[in-house]
Structure 1
Amino acid sequence: MRLYLTALNPTDAVVEGFLPAADALGLPITVLTDRPGEWPSGVPVRHCAVRDAAAVVTATAAEPPAALLSNSDHLQEATAVAAGKLGLPGKDPEAARRCKDKAAMRRALAAVGLDPVRVVTVEPNAAPTVPDDLFPAVVKPRDGVASEDVYLVADRRELAARVATIRRRRADVALVVEEYLAGELRTYDTLGDGVSLAVLGGWRTGLGPPPTFTETSLDWSPPSPAHDTRLRALLGALGVDFGACHTEYVVGGDRVRLIEVNDRLIGDRMDVILADLLGVPLFAHVIRLHLGEPLAAMDVPDPVALDRHARVEYVCADRSGRLAAAPGSVDTIRDGVRLSCRPLLEAGRVAEHTGTNRDYLAVLHGIGPDPDAVRAALTAFRNELRWTIT
């Protein structure tokens, strides 16, 4: 019996997370991907049209699957359909579709009277027709990820300009324009077994300047009981109850407003950092859920009771150019804080300035006893590192 994992390009979650976790569980693994040439040597890959559920089913025929899963936003629905055809535990395909399609997510919540948000869908080649009182608004791809092509717009003129910019690169993309939800951005990270839901924790997210929404920092901040109750209701309305899920929301006054639901682990190395912070085999837990094991069999600590803090900072390119010099991987301890730097772009490569997390050059993080100690140690650590773009 074999674990099959569908993927597109290589990610730290797969290479550093799921592959060693499968090995620790004694489970052989094959990565199904339509980009086998991009994967590092030694990773067991098989070519597959992974956006096609039937092709995924066929690719597992050589050796019976013990489990099938994906950590890609783009592949959750197809992988869920394939898992259902194979009789394996998996996500609800309709829930996976609703999470990916931002207009469908808003419709599903509005239909049950939860968190109504005004939204207009703009089909490819169509001009946006948006009422004046919707502004300020956010325009973004209906099926987008990673804050790519997400912009705050103040009026019709700005909206038209942003739509034109997006379509020069992606002419066939459907867009949504929705009301801007002001507030402090936070995350809500969960695991589910189809019956119960466990909260892994959450982060308070710092953003770069508008009109883009680049995440620049995250501070450990588990949800309050009131926020937890509200978020469980919202995810329940979407049918999200299995495997890993990463939800983004804002807190404005006493209101919780949903931004988006990513039906997989938190990304950009945050999954690796979260596993370290919690001290649990997070990737193995996800695999075990897809093997059919219940949450009750796993050690998921209470995030509120955690006796340590973490902060993450992203080093972003401030302009396009060649990354002439950059530090490599660094691990050290300062004043009781464990510090780490992991490069996300190699020296010599071209850094693009896009206003998204594609701008990331490196991720830094610190784990220590309290927020002040972690912030001070991380600031000193970052000041000693240099990135040069020419």
Structure 2
Amino acid sequence: MRLYLTALNPTDAVLEGFLPAADALGLPATVLTDRPGQWPAGVPVRQCAVRDPAAIIAATAAEPPAALLSNSDHLQEATAVAARKLGLPGKDPEAARRCKDKAVMRRTLAAAGLDPVRAVTVDPGTTPVVPADVFPAVLKPRDGVASEDAYLVTDRRELAARVTAIRRRRPEVALVVEEYLAGELRTYDTLGDGESLAVLGGWRTGLGPPPTFTEVSLDWAPPPGDHDARIRVLLDALGVGFGACHTEYVVRPDGIRLIEVNDRLIGDRMDLILTDLLGVPLFADVIRLHLGEPLAALARPGPAAPGRHARVEYVCADRSGRLTAAPGPVDTVRDGVRLSCRPMREVGRVAERTGTNRDYLAALHGIGPDPDIVRAALTAFRDGLSWTIT
């Protein structure tokens, strides 16, 4: 019996999280991917058209799967369909689709009388027809991820310009225009077995300047009870409840408003940092849920249990060009704070600045006893590092 992971390009979550976790569980693992040449030598990969459930099923025929899962936004629905046909524990395919398709998510919640947000879908080749009172608005791909091509637009002129620019590069993409929900941005991270849901914790997110929505920092901030109760109602309406899920929401004077639901672990190395902060085998726990173990079998600390604070800061490229100098991995301790730097772009690579997390050069984080101490130690740590783009 074997664990199969569907994936596109290589990610830290798979390479540093799921594959070592499978090995620790004594479970052979294979990555099914349509991009086998991009994966490092030695990683057990198999060519597969991973957006096609039938192809996923065929790729597992040689050795029966003990579990099948994905940590990719793009592959949750196809993987869920394949798992269901194979009789394996997995996500609800319809719930996975509701989370991925932002227009469907909004319609589902509105139909349930929950969290109505004015939103308009813009199909490929069509002209946006957006009421004036929707602005300021957020334009984003209907099936988008990682803030790619997400922009704040203040009027129809800006909207038309952004749509035109996106379509020059991606003429086939469907877009959504929805009212801008200003407020304090937070995350809500969970594990579930289809019957019960456990909150791992949450983060308070800092964004870079508009019109893009690049996450530049996150501070550990477990959701208070009223946030927890409200978000569970929203997730229930979407059918979310199995495996890992990462939800983003804002806190406003009119209450909790949902931004998006990502039916996977939190990304951009935050999953690895969360594992360190909580002191739990998070990736192994996700695998165990997909093996059919109940949530109650996992030793879960409460979100407030660590008794420590964590802060994460991303170093972002401020221009297009070649990264010519950068620190490698660094681990150190300052004033009782464990500090870490992990590169997210290799030296020598040329890249365009995008205004998304694709601009990340490195992830820095600190874990310590107090928010102020952690922030000060992380600032001093960052000041001692440098990145050069030419």
1:1-390 to structure 2, matched below 5 A, reads 1-253=1-253, 255-390=255-390
Which amino acid counterpart does residue 101 of structure 2 have in structure 1? Answer: D
SS of the counterpart of 1:342? strand
Residues 21-42 of structure 1: CA deviation (Å, up to 9, x unaligned): 0000000000000000000011
Report the alpha carbon displacement of residue 306 of structure 1 after superposing the two structures with TM: 2.4
4+ residue runs of structure 1 moved beyond 3 angstroms? none
- Partners of 2:144 and 2:53 in 1: how far apart? 20
* 8 A contact 1:320–1:353 mirrored in 2: yes
2:305 and 2:13 map into 1 onto residues whose CA distance is 26
CA distance in 2 between counterparts of 1:310 and 1:181 reads: 26
What is the number of equivalent residue pairs in this alignment?
Answer: 390
Alpha-carbon distance between aligned partners in 2 of 1:306 and 1:254, rounded to the nearest angstrom: 31
- 8 Å contact kept, 1:352–1:358: no
Kept in 2: contact 1:337–1:373 (CA 8 A): yes
Q: Deviations over 1:326-368 (max 9, x none)?
A: 0000000011000000001111111321100000000000000
Residue identity in the other structure for 1:69? L
Question: Does the 8 Å CA contact 1:317/1:351 hold for their aligned counterparts?
Answer: no
Shift of 1:387: 0.4
* 1:200-259 deviation per Cα after TM superposition (whole angstroms, max 9, x unaligned): 000000000000000000000010000000000000000000000000000012510000
Residue 100 of structure 1: CA displacement?
0.3
Give how far 1:140 is off.
0.3
The 3-state SS of whatever aligns with 1:186 is strand
* Offset from partner CA, 1:182-214 (integer Å, 9 cap, x none): 101100000000000000000000000000000
Q: Secondary structure at the match of 2:304?
A: helix
Aligned 8 A contact 1:317 1:352 in 2: no
Cα-to-partner distance string for 1:105-142 (whole Å, 9 max, x where unaligned): 00000011000000000000000000111100000000
- The residue identity in structure 1 corresponding to 2:167 is R
Alignment TM-score, normalising by the size of structure 2? 0.99
Q: For the aligned residues, what is the CA RMSD? A: 0.6
CA distance, structure 2, for counterparts of residue 60 and residue 225 of structure 1: 42
Comparing 48-57 with 342-351, which one deviates more in the overlay? 342-351
Tell me the CA shift for residue 300 of structure 1.
1.2
Amino acid at match of 1:225: G
State the distance in 1 between where 2:175 and 2:318 align: 27
Deviation at 1:295, TM superposition (A): 0.6
Counterpart of 1:271 in 2: which secondary structure? helix
- Residues in 1 aligned to 2:298 and 2:260: alpha-carbon distance in whole angstroms: 27
Secondary structure of the corresponding residue to residue 296 of structure 1: helix
Q: Partners in 2 of 1:380 and 1:185 — Cα distance?
A: 26
Contact 1:33 1:49 in 2 (8 A): yes
Tell me if the contact between 1:337 and 1:368 (Cα under 8 Å) persists in the aligned partners. Answer: yes
Structure 1 residues 254 and 127: alpha-carbon distance in aligned structure 2, compared to 1, 3 A threshold: closer
